[in-house]
Structure 1
Amino acid sequence: MNEFQFILKIAVMGMGVAGSYLMARLKNTEHEAVGYERMTEDRHDSICAWGTIKSVLDGFCKKTGRNFDDFLIHNGRNMHVKMNDDVKFDIGLKGLCTYNKLGLIKDFIKDCKIIYGAPPSIEELEKEYDMIVDCTGFHRVYLPKMKEDFFLPTYEYKVEYENGVPYDDFYIEPFPGMSGYFWYFPLGDNFAHIGAGDYNKNHIKATDAFLEKHGGKIVATKGRPIRLATPDRCKPYYSGKVVGVGESIGTVYALLGEGIIPSMQCVEIFLENMHDFKAYEKAVEKHYKVYAKVFNFVRAKIHKDFSFLKALPDFMSIFLYMKKHEDRFGMNIKIADLLKVAKA
């Protein structure tokens, strides 16, 4: 792609976190970008919980002339963790929050050209555009099929509580063997997201059990798979005019199932290397290198092929990485807490 050192006509496919942020970042460049969203405008939605890190999103929003505080819902103080009836503890938070994810997505693209509904075929896109950016997330519609994928099914309710919320802050229950976890994310004004992702497919059962125990009115129901396979397993990143950005190339932190910030970071890496796909691939590999260690750690636990002694070097690498980037993860990282989860 080295020949593209001029104004490009770019199709951005998928208006989720990565696609919408990319459109906002391309808005003030010399390039002509057109966004495509397969849902109709009135049905365009954002699936999965709305948790992120305030300081990091502040930075991304400033790059597009926006104020993240306009979308902030809940500032976390503590995350309540329940491993089982005997093991419960709190993790101090430093920036973990919930925000109006769909509202920010729509704000990112409000001044952009977006075409809703069934998108053109790849052949039609290739005729019209110089570059096609696959931001279709898990579906990876325009990139070649991966040799091997690894994902979790997820399920979630947005719930309204009329008689007070069951928890005043974030709450999670990791499943045995790190196969996934149940989450409760506060959304302010007596609302919350409750849901779960689980490799062993107990996610719906766990979500419904919490709903039955604590009550609440279901306002919305959502479900989708989330890719845990990391970038090193999601090649090719590009093919012909098509290049992947975000979850389509595996930018999810497997230990947390977190994809918002990694996908937006991927947008920045793409913008720095968009004229050279090989350089983009190299930069992605470097940035997400530790993600492969996290994935291997989690997968071994899920498949019951886990030896803590063998995994100790990776465990320490993961701990040191998260400890060094506490502000990025929005919580106080303690080795004792990580050990509790790892040994569950």
Structure 2
Amino acid sequence: MKIAVMGMGVAGSYLMARLKDSEHDVTGYERMREENHDSICAWGTIKPVLTEFCKKTGRDFNDFLIHDGKNMHVKMNNDVKFDIGLKGLCTYDKLALIKDFIKDSKVIYGEAPKLEELEKEYDMIVDCTGFHRVYLPKLKEDFFLPTYEYKVEYEDKVPYDDFYIEPFPGMSGYFWYFPLGEKYAHIGAGDYNKQHIKATDDFLKKHGGKVLKTKGRPIRLATPDRCKPYYSGKVVGVGESIGTVYALLGEGIIPSMQCVDIFLENMHDFKAYEKAVEEHYKVYAKVFNFVRAKIHKDFSFLKALPDFIAIFRYMKKNEDRFGMNIKIADLMKVAKA
């Protein structure tokens, strides 16, 4: 087939690398110019999981690793502080890996062709445009958080030696500090109540540092069950365009790459792809309902208890996937804040 992959972010670039030696004729499109091509949002992921993804493309994830986490420092809005032991959570050079994934592929930069043009030329159009979902029908009802982030350089001592997060009241989002080596960090926040810029600027004012880059984008929390259709005509969505963000953490890197693998297993049968996506991400709906109820102040712990237990069991069973020690006491602190 002749395939167009739209958007060279996490999902699109990984898909390009996986299709590189296939029998298909694949062209990637990126609306940014090549010199401006960037990766929006923080560079946190789980080392063992990314290692396996990279192996599938003949790459060594260690070539892109920046910081291996040991503990995540957490401060709740009621001043409760605790540490979560980490087992794989790390930061990596996300942009460098994206560029490496597509370096030997045909990619057209600075263009976002109209759907009508693409349909004339290609047999399949894969929408990896993330939040914008450019080539799929618009969602009837979306749910997203605005985010804002600085890449900061510190002259002397960095504020924290490891990961640090500060959830906002009512689980409306959180502030993050992600270390990027000895002198650098990503600091930023996402917040439904739009306090994300203030929180980031307050941290910068308190701890100092030189701002090297400023980034901002919305992140979709609406889950796959709310993001249909996954396909329309020749177009099929992969990654955040169909809602593959884990709402409790705002994490989309691994879920989007998992979605690529699911797509590759079912790319010749869109109905089978839809069914596989629904099965893989079904717990995400419980997570979303839990978080949305907190944000909208429509939360009853007793009503939410079955979902809470399901979320805990899912994360506990998949500790290696989430890169941290999952304790019910820690989840309770977050849920009750």
Q: Give the alignment's TM-score, normalised by structure 1.
A: 0.97
How far apart are the structure 2 equivalents of 1:157 and 1:163? 18
How far apart are the structure 2 equivalents of 1:23 and 1:163? 40
How far apart are the structure 1 equivalents of 2:244 and 2:93? 21
State yes or no: 1:333 paired with 2:334.
no
State yes or no: 1:224 paired with 2:232.
no
- Equivalent pairs, count: 337
Identical-pair percentage: 87
| Letter matched to residue 274 of structure 2 | E
The DSSP-based 3-state class of the residue aligned with 1:188 is coil
Q: Which runs of 5+ in 1 are unaligned?
A: 1-7
The DSSP-based 3-state class of the residue aligned with 2:180 is strand
Q: Within 5 Å, which residues of 2 pair with 1:59-78? A: 59-78=52-71
State yes or no: 1:132 paired with 2:125.
yes
Equivalent residue for 1:202? Answer: 195
C-alpha offsets along residues 104-139 of structure 1, whole Å, 9 cap, x if unaligned? 000000000000012221111000000000000000
Q: Within 5 Å, which residues of 2 pair with 1:105-184? A: 105-184=98-177
State yes or no: 1:316 paired with 2:316.
no
How far apart are the structure 1 equivalents of 2:25 and 2:284? 33
| Letter matched to residue 341 of structure 1 | V
Q: Which runs of 5+ in 2 are unaligned?
A: none
Equivalent residue for 2:185? Answer: 192
| Letter matched to residue 275 of structure 1 | H
How far apart are the structure 2 equivalents of 1:41 and 1:89? 42
**1:163 Cα deviation after fit:** 1.3
How far apart are the structure 1 equivalents of 2:158 and 2:247? 29
Equivalent residue for 2:280? Answer: 287
| Letter matched to residue 302 of structure 1 | I
State yes or no: 1:81 paired with 2:46.
no
How far apart are the structure 2 equivalents of 1:28 and 1:330? 31
State yes or no: 1:251 paired with 2:216.
no
2:46 is aligned, of 33, 50, 53, to: 53
How far apart are the structure 2 equivalents of 1:186 and 1:95? 14
How far apart are the structure 2 equivalents of 1:79 and 1:119? 39
C-alpha offsets along residues 11-39 of structure 1, whole Å, 9 cap, x if unaligned? 00000000000000000111111000000
C-alpha offsets along residues 266-311 of structure 1, whole Å, 9 cap, x if unaligned? 0000000000000000000000000000000000000000000000
**1:164 Cα deviation after fit:** 1.1
Q: Give the alignment's TM-score, normalised by structure 2.
A: 0.99
| Runs of 4+ with deviation above 6 angstroms | none
The DSSP-based 3-state class of the residue aligned with 1:98 is strand
What is the root-mean-square deviation in Å for CA atoms of aligned residues?
0.5
